[in-house]
Amino acid sequence: MVSAVFHSPLGSTTEVTLDAQAKPVTKVEPDKPAPIKPPRQPIDWRGVWLKVLPPVIGMALIVGIWALLTMKSTSFPTPAATFTEAVKVFSDPFYIKGPNDQGIGWNILFSLERVAVGFGLAALVGIPMGFMIGRFSFLNSMVSPLISLLRPVSPLAWLPIGLLVFKAANPAAIWTIFICSIWPMIINTAVGVQRVPSDYLNVARVLNLSEWKVITKILFPAVLPYMLTGVRLSVGTAWLVIVAAEMLTGGVGIGFWVWDEWNNLNVTHILIAIFVIGIVGLLLEWALVSIAKRFTYDEV
Amino acid sequence: MKNFIEVQKAEMVFSTRKGQFHALREINLTVAKGEFVTLIGHSGCGKSTLLNLIAGLTLPSSGALICDNREIAAPGPERAVVFQNHSLLPWLTCFENVHLAVERVFGNSDTKTRLKERTLAALELVNMGHAAFKRPHEISGGMKQRVGIARALAMEPKVLLMDEPFGALDALTRAHLQDELLKIVARTHSTVVMVTHDVDEAVLLSDRIVMMTNGPAATIGEILSIELARPRNRVDLAEDTRYVHYRKEVLDFLYTRHGHVEKVAA
């Protein structure tokens, strides 16, 4: 009996046990300590509503205004007409009826491919360049006036240069993406390198680490969050630029599709394209934000 | 004993935007092998600057610093530094943080398993073996500082340089780590130079206390030898008349003789 008291995991039962000496043991000694259940949190309906409601109202408002404005219009499609058309367009996204008439799926994929190639090349060049600029102040002062000069140039101003050099539309579009998406990556990486806390670099100096170790163990992880910000901005820019570039270069792509439908005076399709461009941009951004979140470490 | 660290006529002048700032003047100091020396003084007196000079993180404007018969021209793993804010890399676990140092120092001579053993041994030395695979943000401030000390000790440095290592900790944790440091130093016979602004810490830990005058152009005001037997126990020492005397000596230097910058300047 006494041993039961000592082994009892709940200290407060001691008295009860002593009192209950006449009673059967099984009642006194619990088989297991009763797990302490945390009080169940009730679902915060108000919070859920406050999160869901405002965006829904916003969307409803814009569609409502659109519907009101187009009620009497003959040239501008109503939301309902656009929606039924969108369902039709997306019911067969991958048809090919000739070089200038392909499904919306192909158009999106071709645009994404151009963005991927242009952006990928920009990352390959821009990120190492940012590292070097951040690390060596001589290089920084050498290159930064050039960057300041070239960065504000409109993407489309680069297009003729691309056409001249590559003598083809597709590489020219990729070149435009490349040159526009490289700046945010260079600048953010360089700033990240310059902002690496001096404590970490002092650690590297005391340990006398090799340049390779400094880069892989200290610089790269410290710069990664900055770099990913650059990448995010770059992808955003690239997706903005591709539409404009494709309008001018033609071929298959979402930008060209918009221009083609304008020539066909198919305003419904243009509206659909606007939504599609917005949604794809949003998804790209979201994907990169979630990657960035994975690689941000907690400051200590 | 032989002089292990020698500072000869070191001067430190920083050029700032407002002009030249004379931080240290005529610093002459020698530290013997196995000695525990603390630098104490009011904030801004250049004690951290002096430590950085010994570490080689900054170079003196004039004068010479010598460690083990070689001039100190750059930082190096033989003079390990424990930084005030621990400076652990937040993306590495405690193990990896220490391993980075171990690998650098012993990577060429030891096998991989031996490197791991060394790392774990260093963490055990500061009682942090249980948190080896945690990241710095998952452990408390005192634990981080211990890992910082483990990283420094794991390199088996000739000199351990500590820049207010316990400054950011609460009084109880600080006392605990001081006791552990005393034990570790007794075991490893390390040569230690430590910056502090805590009088009790200085008297408890040191063989000699280097008291610095107020800046600008600070220099060594006085050096006090603490001849208390080791191992030292803080509770017993609290009533020890010599301890009280040493403590008063330091307080007297800091608050009576060098309490105000104006007085010194006049």
For residues A221 and A297, the answer to whether their CB atoms sit within 8 Å is yes
The pLDDT score that the predictor gives to residue B17 is: 83
Question: What's the whole-model pTM score?
Answer: 0.72
Is residue B38 a contact partner of residue B201, using CB atoms and an 8 Å limit?
yes
What's the pLDDT tens digit per position in A99-109?
Answer: 777 788 888 89
Mean pLDDT of residues grouped by 10 in chain B (266 residues)?
83 86 89 93 87 91 90 89 88 92 89 91 87 90 89 88 87 87 86 92 93 86 90 88 92 83 46
Least confident of A36-45, A150-159, A224-233: A36-45
Global ipTM:
0.81
Nearest Cα residue to A83 out of A271, A280, A264, A257: A271
Domain boundaries, given as residue ranges, for chain B? 1-74+158-266, 79-156
Position A44 scores a pLDDT of: 80
Q: How far apart are CA A127 and CA A192, in angstroms?
A: 11
User: Distance (Å, rounded) from C-alpha B138 to C-alpha B131?
Assistant: 9
- Token readout for B10 is 């070191």
**Phi/psi at B225 (nearest 5 deg)?**
-85, 130
Residue A5 pLDDT exceeds 60 = no
Residue corresponding to tokens 């995991």? A9
User: What's the pLDDT score for residue A299?
Assistant: 60
Q: Is A53 exposed, middle or buried (0-12, 13-18, 19+ CB in 10 A)?
A: exposed
Nearest by CB: A209 against B85, B92, B104: B104
| CATH architecture designation of domain B1-74+158-266 | 3-Layer(aba) Sandwich (3.40)
> Which residues are CB-neighbours of A52 under 8 A, at least 6 positions away?
none
Q: Are A228 and A291 contacting, i.e. CB atoms less than 8 angstroms apart?
A: yes
Count of Cβ atoms closer than 10 Å to residue B211 Cβ: 23
- Report the chain A residue with the minimal C-alpha distance to residue B102: A207
Q: Which of A202, A207, A218 sits opposite B57 (nearest CB)?
A: A202
Q: What was the pLDDT predicted at A24?
A: 46
* Residues paired with B49 in a beta bridge: none
Q: Do B137 and A298 touch (CB under 8 A)?
A: yes
Beta-carbon separation of B137 and A300 below 8 A: yes
Closest residue on chain A to B85 (Cα): A199
B85 exposure class (CB count in 10 Å sphere: 0-12, 13-18, 19+): middle
Rounded Cα distance between A276 and A274, Å, is 5
Write the residue in A202, A205, A297 that is nearest to B90 by C-beta. A297
User: What is the pLDDT confidence band of residue A124, given thresholds at 50, 70 and 90?
Assistant: very high
- Answer whether A199 sits within 8 Å of B144, measured CB to CB: no
Q: In Å, how far is B146's CA from the nearest CA of chain A? A: 15
**Radius of gyration of chain B measured on its C-alpha atoms:** 19
Burial of A114 (0-12, 13-18, 19+ CB in 10 A): buried
CA atoms within 13 A of residue A3's CA, in its CB half-sphere: 0
Q: Name the more confident of B51 and A17.
A: B51
Testing the interface with B: which of A207, A219, A227 to mutate, by most B Cβ within 10 A?
A207
- As annotated, the residues of chain A forming the CATH 1.10.3720.10 domain(s) are 104-295
Residues of A in contact with B144 (CB under 8 A): 300
Q: Which of B114, B61, B120 is nearest to B96 (CA)?
A: B120
- Work out the burial of residue A300: count CB atoms within 10 Å of its CB; fewer than 13 is exposed, 13-18 middle, 19 or more buried: middle
CA distance B109 to chain A (A): 16
A-chain CB neighbours of B141 within 8 Å are: none
d(CA A182, CA B155): 42
Q: Half-sphere exposure of A122 toward its Cβ, with a 13 Å CA cutoff?
A: 30
Q: Which two tokens stand for residue B138?
A: 């998952």
Q: Which of B90, B92, B105 sits opposite A298 (nearest CB)?
A: B90
State the best of B67, B87, B147 to mutate against chain A, taking most chain A CBs within 10 Å.
B87
A174-218 tens-digit pLDDT: 999 999 999 999 999 999 999 988 889 888 988 888 888 888 888
pLDDT at A240 over 70: yes
Gap from A221 CA to chain B (nearest CA, Å): 7
CA distance B20 to A279: 58
Which of A208, A213, A217 is opposite residue B75, by nearest beta carbon?
Answer: A208
A226 within 8 A of A189, measured Cβ to Cβ: yes
Query: How many Cβ pairs within 8 Å bridge chains A and B?
Result: 61
Put simply, the answer to whether A207 touches B83 (Cβ < 8 Å) is no
What is the per-residue pLDDT across A182-194, written as a single tens digit (0 to 9) for each? 999 999 999 999 9
A interface test, pick of B92, B100, B103, B119 with most A CB neighbours within 10 Å: B100
Chain A residues whose CB is inside 8 A of the B101 CB are 207
What's the pLDDT band for A1 if we cut at 50, 70, 90? Answer: very low
8 Å CB contact between B41 and B254: yes
Buried b (16+ CB within 10 A) or exposed e, B3-21: ebbbbeebbbbeeeeeeee
pLDDT in tens, B202-232: 999 999 999 999 878 888 989 999 998 888 8
10 Å CB burial of residue B168 (0-12, 13-18, 19+) is: middle
What percent of chain A clears pLDDT 90, i.e. is strictly above it? 27
Average pLDDT over residues A67-88: 86
Lowest mean pLDDT among A114-118, A295-299, B251-255: A295-299
Closest CA to A93 of A228, A276, A235, A237: A276
pLDDT at A8: 39
Mean pLDDT in residue range A55-65: 92
The beta-carbon neighbor of A205 closest among B57, B85, B90 is B57
The answer to whether domain A104-295 has CATH 2.60.40.10 is: no
CB B90 to CB A207 under 8 A? no
Distance from CA of B87 to the nearest CA of A (A): 6
SS (H, E, C) chain A: CHHHHHHCCCHHHHHHHHHHHHCCHHHHCCCCCCCCCCCCCCCCHHHHHHHHHHHHHHHHHHHHHHHHHCCCCCCCCCHHHHHHHHHHHHHCCCCECCCCCECHHHHHHHHHHHHHHHHHHHHHHHHHHHHHHHHCHHHHHHHHHHHHHHCCCCHHHHHHHHHHHHCCHHHHHHHHHHHHHHHHHHHHHHHHHHCCCHHHHHHHHHHCCCHHHHHHHHHHHHHHHHHHHHHHHHHHHHHHHHHHHHHHHCCCCHHHHHHHHHHCCCHHHHHHHHHHHHHHHHHHHHHHHHHHHHHCCCCC
Compute the nearest-CA separation of A118 from chain B (Å): 31
Residues from chain A that touch B136, judged by Cβ atoms under 8 A, are 300
Closest CA of chain A from B40, distance in Å: 22
